[in-house]
A and B are shown apart, each in its own frame.
Chain A
Amino acid sequence: MLHIPILRQGVPYESVEKTTLVHHATGEPVAQVSQANSGMLRRDIVRMNDAVLERFTVRELMDMTRKAAELFIGGTLPLGDGAQSFDDYITQLSATTGMPIGYCRRNAQKIHKVLDDIEEVVTGLTRGFDLSILDSGYGKHDGRTLSFYREGRIFGAVLPSNSPGVHSLWIPAAVLKAPIVLKPGREEPWTPYRVIEALAAAGVPREAFGFYPTDHGGAGELLRSVNRSMLFGGGATVKPYENDPAVELHGPGYSKIILGADAADDWEKYVDVMVGSIEANGGRSCINCSAIWTPKHGAKIAGAVAKKLAQRKALPTDDPDAVLAAFANPVVAEQIDAAITQGLRDGSAVDLAEKHRGTPRLARIGRCAFLQPALIWCGDREHPLANREFLFPYASVVECPTAEMPSTIGPSLIVTAITKDQTLIKALMDSPHVDRLNVGAIPTFQISWDQPHEGNLFEHLYRQRAFQIEAA
């Protein structure tokens, strides 16, 4: 059977302990994944050469990354003892995650884009100063001396399985010269492994990479052992690290679309943006909209959005029309469905998508479980289902006076504010709860690659220092 090894400073290692990944639809084993014990992570990380990428300029690393883009999308790359073509990768990714083939391909394109447009991405993070300053340690920008040093000696990431697109977030660390240690999500070792192999094949030294499938304890050891990290996970996973500046958290998004009083009467014009924001990427990402806030017409908006969402039905993942992901573990789908059913029990909210569809949210095809879209008309913003996020197309619609919205929406990764009301826009801009603000009918999932996402990786890794040098 296919074996995915640990990569210890780039060197494959076969563990005594392995997990088996199975095909979501057939239950057949797809691959065995070597598991690292937590002590191995600690031991390896403290022994990594944190300056291994310093011998390259940022420009050289960007050239390698662009080359890796082509290898990622078109090359045959090492995978354990064997090799993996791009089509193999897509098939394997869909098999173990339950994500539709088309969805996997679109996400692979996103990763290709980040690799290929790495200069634009890094420039977005550094806001345009001459990147050779990072090579020399200091330099002039707009006539002023700038100097940076890298606090993130080793960068780590604890990654999710929900969407391959998120892997684009850690890629710039290599160009910023930080060796990278990754813990992949259980069902999704494929993408980070392939990115590492593409970068290595393009000339980035293998010893700059660690790849450690491991358990919860191993993830904790990774976060403790590296200087700077990203952590993806649910609320309970990220909570212990809330006050740790070394860990950049990527928890639930609670992304929202807000209608201003000036736009609410024209709500019909925005239904497609709402639907797209809820269902893009199978509704599995933190950048999907999970709530629509409006000062009026809530019931009508909910009805119209629900009617469109209800057309998205469970299909086998290899069906070209598939838009919903299967749950690789059907129990997770059952638990989510039960949580929503429980929330609806008091009768004050209703799943209008289910009503339009005429079939339950939870659907099965063979051994696969799917959750078909849910659109919860809550009315009351305090309803327990009003501010939730799940791993499928799910959103609530609530009514709230616009003046109260900025102070009551709560932490929101993305807010799309459809309004020209400058008071509302200013209040949202001032809000510490809004991480990314879109003004206008911009889908929540639309990412501008020259903008940081949930924190700025450059600022996470580097610190500006005061610097003076005596004139020669």
Chain B
Amino acid sequence: MSESNTAGNLTDKVQSAKERLDAHTRETVAWHFDPATGCPFWLEYAKTLDFDPRKDVQSYADLNKFPWFEDEWLRGGPVRRWVPKAFADKPVYVFETGGSTGIPKSRININDFRTDYENFSDTLSDAAFPRGADWLMLGPSGPRRLRLAIEHLCQHRGGISFCVDMDPRWVVKLIKSGRVREMHEYKDHVVNQGLTLLKAHEGIQCVFTTPKLLEALCERVSLAKLGIKGVFCGGTQLTAQFHRFAREELLEGKVEFVPTYGNTLMGLACHKPFDPADNYSVIYHAPLPRAVTHVVDPDEPDRIVEYGELGRVRLTTLTKEFFMPRFLERDEGVRTPPCAKYPWDGVGDVRPFSGFATPIIEGVY
């Protein structure tokens, strides 16, 4: 009885999320294609379409009328073509992805990163990430949004964020050229700064860092003994075995571990709460309705794969600042079903897409 009730509740929640997504899609598309509010790129692009987005996109499924979003559109300028007219007078940030070779993709931001991380903040427990606690941000800085976003998350929760510089493009360059020793020296340089901050500022109780930097930190100190209560971890691939290793060994079962998946184009996904039944598989759910991910057949990206199957991640971003329909990500993962907390599809075991001719170097940062 209770099981069927639960199943029934989930079905209701799935339906309700879908309706909310459809409404949000209508509103977002209408905004971006309205000459009064939309950005020059989409207003110009609309002239090439054989449909009127404002009339013909009434649901999320209607976004399939758009062709695939091409990542080349985000490389190079003029970057202001992406700024919606409604925000023309606002201060604009630009955040970049990758960029170890060639021109990086860029996304403009006004307030999205704050909204994304404020929403994410609601998923964090106050016990592990106490209100008013200070944070250490030990991850990529520079033109990436992560540094500002973590700082905002910390400030939103009433704390102060301590940061260090870290340039992942330099790390990728060192790896590509086989300069492993220099890569480790750079990693040590970053970690040493983090340790200095941790030891000097006892108010730091929360850490954001990447898997490799977490390993390097925990090689030197016990974060539990230093008073850290929660670690928020992401930035590169996070395997199930690493997840287990981090929980059981690096953090000694004493510090909360929150794995994340996020990027400049999507925002920040939420991970399904830890459940031993998932065998440490890290399962993410996109921040609906602001972004939607599907796991699709790489050879036929219109087809969503079955639950449990591996496929390429397809992303649609739907905010008032940025509209990006049907973008094929550089990642692959396993399609997972909706859960009570996030009643829409998730993606598990995310890793770099294996179908590229040249493997992606994620960086050992």
Do residues A39 and B245 form an inter-chain contact, with CB atoms below 8 A?
yes
* Additional 18 contacts, C-beta under 8 A, given A39-B212, A43-B218: A15-B241, A16-B243, A16-B244, A16-B280, A17-B239, A17-B241, A35-B241, A37-B241, A37-B242, A39-B211, A39-B215, A39-B242, A39-B245, A40-B245, A43-B215, A43-B219, A43-B249, A239-B178
Contact of A42 among B178, B215, B241 (CB under 8 A): B215
* Cα–Cα distance between A36 and B178 once the two chains are bound (Å): 23
Do residues A42 and B219 form an inter-chain contact, with CB atoms below 8 A?
yes
Inside 8 A of A38's CB, which chain B residues have their CB? 215
Look across to chain A and name the residue whose beta carbon is closest to the beta carbon of B243: A16
Inside 8 A of A224's CB, which chain B residues have their CB? 180, 184
Look across to chain A and name the residue whose beta carbon is closest to the beta carbon of B246: A39
- B interface residues (Cβ-Cβ under 8 A, vs A): 178, 180, 184, 211-212, 215, 218-219, 239-245, 249-250, 279-280, 364
Assess whether A82 is interfacial by the CB under 8 Å rule: no
Do residues A16 and B240 form an inter-chain contact, with CB atoms below 8 A?
yes
Inside 8 A of B364's CB, which chain A residues have their CB? 217
Do residues B279 and A16 form an inter-chain contact, with CB atoms below 8 A?
yes
* Cα–Cα distance between A46 and B218 once the two chains are bound (Å): 12
* Cα–Cα distance between A220 and B175 once the two chains are bound (Å): 12
| B-contact bits for A349-381, CB 8 A (1 contact / 0 none) | 000000000000000000000000000000000
Do residues A16 and B219 form an inter-chain contact, with CB atoms below 8 A?
no
- A interface residues (Cβ-Cβ under 8 A, vs B): 15-17, 35-40, 42-43, 46, 217, 220, 224, 239-240
> Is chain A's binding surface mostly helix, strand, loop or mixed?
helix
> Is chain B's binding surface mostly helix, strand, loop or mixed?
helix
* Cα–Cα distance between A42 and B191 once the two chains are bound (Å): 16
Assuming the A-B contacts A16-B280, A39-B215, are A240 and B180 also in contact, with contact meaning beta carbons closer than 8 angstroms in the complex? yes
* Cα–Cα distance between A15 and B218 once the two chains are bound (Å): 20
Do residues A220 and B180 form an inter-chain contact, with CB atoms below 8 A?
yes
Inside 8 A of A217's CB, which chain B residues have their CB? 364
Inside 8 A of A46's CB, which chain B residues have their CB? 219
Assuming the A-B contacts A17-B240, A37-B245, A39-B245, are A240 and B219 also in contact, with contact meaning beta carbons closer than 8 angstroms in the complex? no
| Minimum Cβ distance to chain A for residue B176 (Å) | 12
| Minimum Cβ distance to chain A for residue B231 (Å) | 14
Do residues A16 and B241 form an inter-chain contact, with CB atoms below 8 A?
yes
* Cα–Cα distance between A17 and B281 once the two chains are bound (Å): 10
Listed residue (A35, A37, A43) with the most chain B CB atoms within 10 angstroms of its CB: A37
Look across to chain B and name the residue whose beta carbon is closest to the beta carbon of A34: B241
Contact of B239 among A37, A42, A239, A240 (CB under 8 A): A37
Q: Return 5 A-B CB contacts under 8 Å, by A number.
A: A15-B241, A16-B243, A39-B242, A43-B250, A239-B178
* Cα–Cα distance between A39 and B220 once the two chains are bound (Å): 13
Look across to chain A and name the residue whose beta carbon is closest to the beta carbon of B280: A16
| Minimum Cβ distance to chain A for residue B121 (Å) | 28
Look across to chain B and name the residue whose beta carbon is closest to the beta carbon of A225: B219
Ordered nearest first, which 9 A-B pairs have the shortest CB separation?
Answer: A39-B215, A17-B241, A16-B240, A16-B241, A240-B178, A37-B241, A16-B280, A37-B242, A15-B241
| Minimum Cβ distance to chain A for residue B126 (Å) | 29
Look across to chain B and name the residue whose beta carbon is closest to the beta carbon of A244: B181
| Minimum Cβ distance to chain A for residue B282 (Å) | 11
Inside 8 A of A17's CB, which chain B residues have their CB? 239-241
| Minimum Cβ distance to chain A for residue B166 (Å) | 18
Inside 8 A of A239's CB, which chain B residues have their CB? 178
Look across to chain A and name the residue whose beta carbon is closest to the beta carbon of B250: A39
* Cα–Cα distance between A36 and B240 once the two chains are bound (Å): 11
Inside 8 A of B279's CB, which chain A residues have their CB? 16
Look across to chain B and name the residue whose beta carbon is closest to the beta carbon of A38: B215
Inside 8 A of A16's CB, which chain B residues have their CB? 240-241, 243-244, 279-280
Inside 8 A of B249's CB, which chain A residues have their CB? 40, 43
* Cα–Cα distance between A40 and B249 once the two chains are bound (Å): 9
* Cα–Cα distance between A39 and B241 once the two chains are bound (Å): 10
* Cα–Cα distance between A239 and B177 once the two chains are bound (Å): 12
* Cα–Cα distance between A452 and B364 once the two chains are bound (Å): 37
* Cα–Cα distance between A15 and B249 once the two chains are bound (Å): 13
Listed residue (A16, A42, A239) with the most chain B CB atoms within 10 angstroms of its CB: A16
Inside 8 A of B242's CB, which chain A residues have their CB? 37, 39
| Minimum Cβ distance to chain B for residue A337 (Å) | 22
Inside 8 A of A37's CB, which chain B residues have their CB? 239, 241-242, 245
| Minimum Cβ distance to chain A for residue B245 (Å) | 5
* Cα–Cα distance between A37 and B242 once the two chains are bound (Å): 6
* Cα–Cα distance between A38 and B219 once the two chains are bound (Å): 13
| Minimum Cβ distance to chain A for residue B100 (Å) | 18
Inside 8 A of B180's CB, which chain A residues have their CB? 220, 224, 240
Look across to chain B and name the residue whose beta carbon is closest to the beta carbon of A214: B241
| Minimum Cβ distance to chain B for residue A54 (Å) | 25
Inside 8 A of B212's CB, which chain A residues have their CB? 39
| Minimum Cβ distance to chain A for residue B157 (Å) | 28
Inside 8 A of B241's CB, which chain A residues have their CB? 15-17, 35-37, 40
* Cα–Cα distance between A46 and B242 once the two chains are bound (Å): 18
Look across to chain A and name the residue whose beta carbon is closest to the beta carbon of B279: A16
Look across to chain A and name the residue whose beta carbon is closest to the beta carbon of B244: A16
Listed residue (B212, B242, B243, B279) with the most chain A CB atoms within 10 angstroms of its CB: B242
* Cα–Cα distance between A16 and B180 once the two chains are bound (Å): 28
* Cα–Cα distance between A220 and B178 once the two chains are bound (Å): 11
Listed residue (A35, A39, A43, A240) with the most chain B CB atoms within 10 angstroms of its CB: A39
* Cα–Cα distance between A40 and B242 once the two chains are bound (Å): 9
| Minimum Cβ distance to chain A for residue B354 (Å) | 13
| Minimum Cβ distance to chain A for residue B212 (Å) | 8
Inside 8 A of B219's CB, which chain A residues have their CB? 42-43, 46
Inside 8 A of A240's CB, which chain B residues have their CB? 178, 180
* Cα–Cα distance between A17 and B241 once the two chains are bound (Å): 6
| Minimum Cβ distance to chain B for residue A81 (Å) | 18
Inside 8 A of B250's CB, which chain A residues have their CB? 39, 43
Inside 8 A of A36's CB, which chain B residues have their CB? 241
Look across to chain B and name the residue whose beta carbon is closest to the beta carbon of A44: B249
* Cα–Cα distance between A38 and B241 once the two chains are bound (Å): 10
* Cα–Cα distance between A472 and B277 once the two chains are bound (Å): 69
Inside 8 A of B240's CB, which chain A residues have their CB? 16-17
